[in-house]
Every structure is written in structure tokens, then in C-alpha cells.
């Protein structure tokens, strides 16, 4: 995978368990592990328990991506905090409708690898709005499969440290990655 200029470091065979996951990504990883069956693959999307997500206080920060038949990726769920950051709901929007072209192209590469290659991804880095630092995000994105085992979904969570509130919620956002770690799902013990 070619790294764009806004990515400082990427380890495509790393160990997300050694990363600074923070509370929300760690909570999602723990739930995701509990949804898995004995085959060590990704859990079924139907195994997701919204009550568990709510009890873990993850719902406002969760998103769900689906791989569409035409190969694009679409948000099928977006939590309140994500919607507030984007000043709109992401639900029903494609990656191309959500991000600038360079970020969308890189996001599509990552989602394709997460879903099709069944890897977990942890990333961290600052987000700017109109060139000013806005917040620092810690993200975890994990693959999910259909009931018949087809790789079609990813669930993600973000935990943010705010630098400055977004002065203009519609301002131009830029995403930077200090670190991206991808780990094949089979290497994450159950």
C-alpha cells in the first residue's frame, strides 16, 4: 500500500494489542472478541449486541461500514459524536461523499484491506480544520462478516482528545496519521 504524505508510519503486520488503544477502542476490541466464534475469524455482524455497545458507552462514537456490490464503501451507522464532528449524519453516505479525494482514496484502500483481507486496524493522529489543529483521534476498526461468512462489514470506534473546538463545523478537515497498525485477525487470540 502506498503511503500518502499525511501518513507518518504504517505497520501492516503489527500487533494492535501492543498499541495505546485507549478506553473506547479497548472496549470495542473486548466486545468484538466476545462476539467471535471458535474459528478465530471475524465475528458475524448479526452477533453485534447494541445493548452491549450502549452499556460500554460506545454508541456515540461507533460507525459501521458496508462494502457495496459496486465496490464502494458506505456508512450504514454513525454515532452522535461522529455526526457532530461532521455537522451531518454519515449514515447512507459513501466514503467519497464524506472525505476529500486524497483522504477518500486512502480510506478506501484501508477499508478494502480491513474487510477483504480481514485485518484489524488501529490508528492515531491529529485532525485539522481549516489548517488549525482540532482534535487528536485514536481509532480502532475491525472486520465483520455476514451470517454465511462473506467479508462485507467493518465496525469502528474513535476516541478523541480535543485541541480546539471546530470553529467552523463545515470547514475543511485534514486527517493525519502518526501511526497505523494492521494485524491479521487470526493473530488476535480469542
**Residue extents of the structural domains in the chain:** 10-187
CA 131/CA 153 separation, integer angstroms:
32
**Predicted TM-score (pTM) of this structure:** 0.88
CA 124/CA 137 separation, integer angstroms:
5
164 band by pLDDT with thresholds 50, 70 and 90: low
The predicted-structure confidence for 90-138, as pLDDT tens digits, reads as follows: 999 999 998 888 888 989 999 999 999 999 999 888 877 666 767 788 9
Buried b (16+ CB within 10 A) or exposed e, 84-101: ebbeeebeebbbbebbee
- Residues contacting residue 119 through CB under 8 Å, at least 6 positions apart: 12, 113, 143, 182, 183, 184, 185
According to the model, what pLDDT value does residue 101 have?
A: 87
CA 25/CA 138 separation, integer angstroms:
8
**Please, what CATH class does the domain formed by 10-187 belong to?**
alpha beta
The predicted-structure confidence for 29-52, as pLDDT tens digits, reads as follows: 999 999 998 777 999 999 999 999
**pLDDT at position 23 over 70:** yes
According to the model, what pLDDT value does residue 115 have?
A: 97
Query: Which residue do the cell numbers 455526526 mark?
Result: 83
According to the model, what pLDDT value does residue 182 have?
A: 87
Residue 10 corresponds to which cell in the numbers above? 504504517
More confident residue, 145 or 184: 145
Amino acid at each position: 500500500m502506498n503511503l500518502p504524505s499525511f501518513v507518518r508510519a504504517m505497520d501492516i503486520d503489527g500487533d494492535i494489542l501492543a498499541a495505546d488503544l485507549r478506553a473506547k477502542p479497548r472496549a470495542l476490541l473486548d466486545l468484538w472478541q466476545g462476539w467471535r466464534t471458535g474459528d478465530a475469524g471475524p465475528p458475524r455482524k448479526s452477533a453485534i449486541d447494541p445493548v452491549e455497545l450502549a452499556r460500554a458507552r460506545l454508541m456515540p462514537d461507533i460507525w459501521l461500514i458496508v462494502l457495496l456490490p459496486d465496490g464502494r464503501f458506505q456508512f450504514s451507522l454513525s454515532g452522535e459524536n461522529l455526526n457532530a464532528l461532521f455537522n451531518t449524519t454519515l449514515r447512507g453516505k459513501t466514503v467519497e461523499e464524506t472525505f476529500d479525494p486524497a483522504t477518500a482514496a486512502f480510506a478506501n484502500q484501508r477499508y478494502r484491506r480491513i474487510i477483504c483481507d480481514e485485518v484489524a486496524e488501529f490508528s492515531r493522529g491529529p485532525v485539522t480544520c481549516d489548517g488549525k489543529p482540532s482534535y487528536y483521534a485514536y481509532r480502532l476498526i475491525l472486520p465483520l462478516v455476514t451470517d454465511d461468512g462473506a467479508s462485507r462489514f467493518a465496525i469502528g470506534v474513535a476516541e478523541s482528545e480535543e485541541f480546539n473546538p471546530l470553529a467552523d463545523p463545515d470547514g475543511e478537515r485534514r486527517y493525519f496519521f502518526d501511526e497505523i497498525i494492521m494485524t491479521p485477525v487470526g493473530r488476535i487470540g480469542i
